[in-house]
Amino acid sequence: MSEILEILWMFVKAFTVGGLICTVAQVIINFTELTSGKILVLFMLSGIALTALGLYQPLVEFAGAGATVPISGFGYLLASGAMKGAQEGLFQAITGALAAASAGVTAAVVFSFLMALIFKSHTKYN
């Protein structure tokens, strides 16, 4: 029974942190004139900055997917890969970030391609 409670607690933490990140994004959308692209960049850069300051890793350890799935988690992934690669040299700092993010980027490209084959794209107002 305690294993089930532990899993439920993990879900609660992930949904709480992920929900708070999404709430911040929604507040920015509602109360600013920023476009969605600018908000995405802002969140990715905040993930990079928080990782550089050592603040995002504890959040990832606490919330798991609640912190890694949002776009700020992509910034965390790039920054942590670059920091690990930088321990070996300058070139590895660049390739470390790319290697860390390669699986996610590959999945996004492949699944986007598959969805483009299945569904007919059109503009929102057609």
State mean pLDDT over 61-89.
92
Q: Evaluate if pTM is beyond 0.85.
A: no
Residue range 9-19: average pLDDT? 96
pLDDT in tens, 45-67: 999 999 999 999 999 999 999 99
Is residue 125, in this structure, part of any structural domain at all?
Answer: no
- Per-residue pLDDT, averaged over 18-36, amounts to 94
pLDDT at residue 15 above 90?
Answer: yes
In a domain? residue 14: yes
| CB-based contact 71:42 (threshold 8 Å) | no
Return the percentage of the chain with pLDDT > 70, whole number: 98
Q: Is residue 126, in this structure, part of any structural domain at all? A: no
Residue-range definition of the domain harbouring residue 20: 2-118
State yes or no: pLDDT of 89 exceeds 70. yes
List of long-range contacts for 69-72, beta carbons under 8 Å, 24+ apart: 69/18, 70/18, 70/21, 70/22, 70/43, 71/40, 71/43, 71/44, 71/47, 72/21, 72/43, 72/44, 72/46, 72/47
**Per-residue DSSP letters for 30-98?**
HHS---HHHHHHHHHHHHHHHHHTT-HHHHHHHHTHHHHSSHHHHHHHHHHHHHHHHTT-HHHHHHHHH
Residue in 70, 63, 67 with CA at minimum distance from that of residue 43 = 70
Residue 84, pLDDT > 60, answer yes
Asked if pLDDT for residue 106 goes beyond 70, the answer is yes
| Within-domain flag for 17 | yes
pLDDT of residue 126: 55
pLDDT at residue 98, rounded to an integer? 86
How many distinct structural domains can be found in the chain?
1
Q: What angle, 0 to 180 degrees and rounded to 10, lies between the N-to-C axes of helices 71-86 and 36-52? A: 40
List, for residues 40-50, the tens digit of each pLDDT value: 999 999 999 99
